[in-house]
Amino acid sequence: MSKQTLALPALANYQHRAMIKPTDINQPIIEALYCEALVLADDVRQVFDLATLPNEIDPQADLTRLALSVEGLRTTTRVMHVLAWLLNQRAYFAGELTEFQLRRHSTLPADRPAEEDNLLKLEEPTRQLIRETELLHARITRLDGAWRDRFEMRPAAVHRLQERLGRSLARR
């Protein structure tokens, strides 16, 4: 049997483990996401600048302006929450926060998705930008959840520990 044939099962095992176990959050991932979030924040600021809208006296224009205001606030808040989370991660990697501080103070708030009725009143590029911010928030939520799962004890593990303690105390 050749060395290459022996290496194939090891390679397959490595690839299988790599698919199951998510990669831990690291500084390059955080930096890339931070740059992406900054670009989105700038785009959001430009798109939702209400001063650029013409002042029309039209009920439909008022509804569009209201939809733009509501979704602008939601979108801006979403991006700011993502940026705050990423800044905390950057502070952790820079040694400015401990892991305990990061776990305690860096919870990403839940997203408030755009309302479909409002989206229908907005132009397609604006709707696409809103979707991009929702997708970024969802990616960060998945990263945050996977990272936090490392610290949570599962109920089954707690029960096993309690049973072991009970058996140990019963022997005395």
Is 172 strand, coil or helix? coil
Percent of the chain surpassing pLDDT 90: 54
Query: What's the mean pLDDT when you consider all of the chain?
Result: 82
Q: What are the distances in angstroms from CA 139 to CA 107, 122, 157?
A: 14, 24, 28
CA-nearest of 107, 146, 136, 150 to 32 is 136
More confident residue, 11 or 75: 75
User: Which residue segments constitute the domains of the chain, with CATH numbers given?
Assistant: 24-149 (1.10.8.930)
Is 113 strand, coil or helix? coil
The arithmetic mean of pLDDT across residues 131-158, rounded, is 84
Which tokens go with 151?
A: 């610290």
CA-nearest of 155, 135, 152, 150 to 22 is 150
Please answer whether residues 64 and 121 qualify as being in contact, where contact means their C-beta atoms are separated by less than 8 angstroms: yes
CA-nearest of 66, 81, 64, 72 to 44 is 72
More confident residue, 21 or 168: 168
For the stretch 114-125, pLDDT in tens is 999 999 999 999
The arithmetic mean of pLDDT across residues 2-18, rounded, is 42
The answer to whether residue 67 scores a pLDDT higher than 90 is yes
User: Which pLDDT value is given to residue 166?
Assistant: 83
User: Which pLDDT value is given to residue 129?
Assistant: 97
The answer to whether residue 5 scores a pLDDT higher than 50 is no
- Number of Cβ within a 10 Å radius of residue 25: 16
User: Which pLDDT value is given to residue 3?
Assistant: 43
